Structure 1
């Protein structure tokens, strides 16, 4: 490292030097943040796209999840270019690239400014970006894959969704609640719990965040999945349906959907977050060595 002293470099520099650092180092750090976000999103998007489609088709017309996973995986392997350049892949990639990029950039800027509430600001900014994009993605997936017509006849699917503003708003609110739970568990609760893991369990500095990042987001799905299924039912059946019928319908596939949403969270907010953190650390480390 260029500065082995434990005292932060910004504390040793004059205001002019800190301003120079802001204008030279910060843009390169932010570029590293964007690069880490883009690469991490690219790594996890294929599997999440396949899982999300299978889950929507399961809740919409009871297609077995395993069959959907197999069929869509084989289709992606046979024609990867078509799979990558279709709308669903782009939706998922945009969602996670933006989420990681905002989390990285906010933390970098907050650290450079020595903001006392950087962690909370990062959580709030990430939520503001992730939740609307997540709801937008889910609505598009419900439109594209929410009937047995599939994505080959998107216009027919769109016409089949009868718009009811009140029910649509309720579905959107439940999607918002679901994503807020996931974001809180992934970006706030997991890092905090990593700090309280006793050294008797593991003393390796990287083991603690790995443990919490691979478990806490998964456990949040025990709460988020019922909200997810109910919101999907509200959006797909935008007409008057007795509440008891909606509850029965949303609970019908709760067990299997919870399992697969837990599996889905592992690449999205487990391995994806870990890859993003490691890549970001690597890019920032190279910048520090070069300065």
Structure 2
């Protein structure tokens, strides 16, 4: 009688796992390096405008002049390093979560995910890194003081809600929004619905999140017993221009950066499948 054989099915996809993790890091680093210069200049300008140090336009001109004339001074500065670490860390978290899912569920390496797990992972990474960056930027470019004071707790809370809204709109909304966009086949030959959603969702949410950002900065810049009305007047005064400025930084951060990170990762992963 022939001896029966048993076959075991490998439920994990570990093929080229080390190279896939390296591709996750390379994709994230390339996207972060691409968008960090613009985001650094805009973040600095928003905070200097809110604190009264410089106008939004003047601060942007100064930053881009430094980038053009003394690029080493700009690219090796502390503000640039903080922004690079922030977005590089966020992209890496999203990428490694996708690789973990494709590994444990035995799916192709180029598989991406969307859902609560991805939101929690990316928002936690982005939140912790962004709060650290915000505290440093507020002290570097906020209201001029001889010794920068600690960031108040309510400011951290407002920054946290702002970041959760942005991360949710950047990583979870685009896959859901893309099928609903009224894009013809001709339009999608130039820009895919997924790419369009990756730009639109995080930009639109800034109209809601920017007042939270400005109020958090105002609580740091003008400590004391100012009433809600005085603070709302300041927030309303800076809301529109700051919203457009934050759109201009979010589009590179989660639009351009998100698309570059996604596309570079997809191309690298397809070669490793």
Q: TM-score, normalised by structure 1?
A: 0.83
Structure 1 residue 235, shift from structure 2 partner: 2.0
- Write out aligned runs for 1:130-169 (5 A): 130-148=126-144, 156=146, 159-161=147-149, 163=150, 168-169=152-153
Q: Which runs of 5+ in 2 are unaligned?
A: 1-6, 108-112
* Equivalent-residue separation in structure 2 for 1:130 and 1:114 (angstroms): 26
Distance 1:193 1:14, change over 3 A: farther
Q: How many residues align?
A: 261
Q: Which runs of 5+ in 1 are unaligned?
A: 1-12, 150-155
Superposed CA RMSD: 2.3
* Equivalent-residue separation in structure 2 for 1:275 and 1:99 (angstroms): 14
On the 8 A contact 1:55/1:65 being kept in 2, the answer is: yes
More helix by share: 1
1:189 aligns to what? 173
1:74 aligns to what? 65
- Of 244, 247, 251, which aligns to 1:259? 244
Task: State the Cα deviation string for residues 244-268 of structure 1 (Å, max 9, x = none).
Answer: 1111122221111111111111100
- The alignment partner of 1:240 has SS state of coil
1:222 aligns to what? 207
On the 8 A contact 1:54/1:68 being kept in 2, the answer is: yes
1:51 aligns with 2:35: no
On the 8 A contact 1:226/1:250 being kept in 2, the answer is: yes
On the 8 A contact 2:203/2:251 being kept in 1, the answer is: yes
* Equivalent-residue separation in structure 1 for 2:244 and 2:83 (angstroms): 20
2:9 aligns to what? 15
Farther-moved stretch of structure 1 (200-209 vs 190-199): 200-209
Structure 1 segments (4+ residues) deviating >6 Å: none
On the 8 A contact 1:40/1:97 being kept in 2, the answer is: yes
- Write out aligned runs for 1:204-223 (5 A): 204=189, 207-223=192-208
1:129 aligns with 2:125: yes
On the 8 A contact 1:135/1:175 being kept in 2, the answer is: yes
Distance 1:205 1:120, change over 3 A: farther
Structure 1 residue 195, shift from structure 2 partner: 2.7
- The alignment partner of 2:54 has SS state of coil
Q: TM-score, normalised by structure 2?
A: 0.88
1:175 aligns with 2:162: no
